[in-house]
Amino acid sequence: QADSMAEVGNGTLTTHVLNTASGLPAAGLVIRLARLQEPGQQWTELAQRHTDADGRCQPLLAPGQAKSGTYKLHFETAEYWQGQGQTSFYPFVEVVFIITNPAQKLHVPLLISPYSYTTYRGS
């Protein structure tokens, strides 16, 4: 029992944003994390970050913060592309996902170009 208690809430949530048009990390991109309040459609913002030079940021959920539920990563892509001197078809990207096991480490990367984006569950 003590061992399983130590595991609870050890999960973290990380992301990484890559500009696939340039092949470089997307630096200075604003990311917000929100959690859906069940029942209903109210989102509660939990964290806001900026990507660093490597397209990464501090974990959006620290160990012990994750709970089961529906979450949304909101990426401010239009601002980023404006900073690159480019227009973009998508003003922002929202990735909605479900955390079923709060002890898991989740990595949700985003690959962006002005006219497409891809996300996947990383490790």
Residue ranges of the binding site: 16, 56, 120
**How far is Cα 116 from Cα 24, in angstroms, rounded to an integer?**
16
| Amino acid at position 114, single letter | P
* Residue 83: other Cβ atoms inside 10 A: 12
Going by the annotation, the residues of the binding site for substrate are 16, 56, 120
User: CA neighbours within 13 Å on the CB side: how many for 104?
Assistant: 11
CB 109 within 8 A of CB 119: yes
**How far is Cα 12 from Cα 76, in angstroms, rounded to an integer?**
22
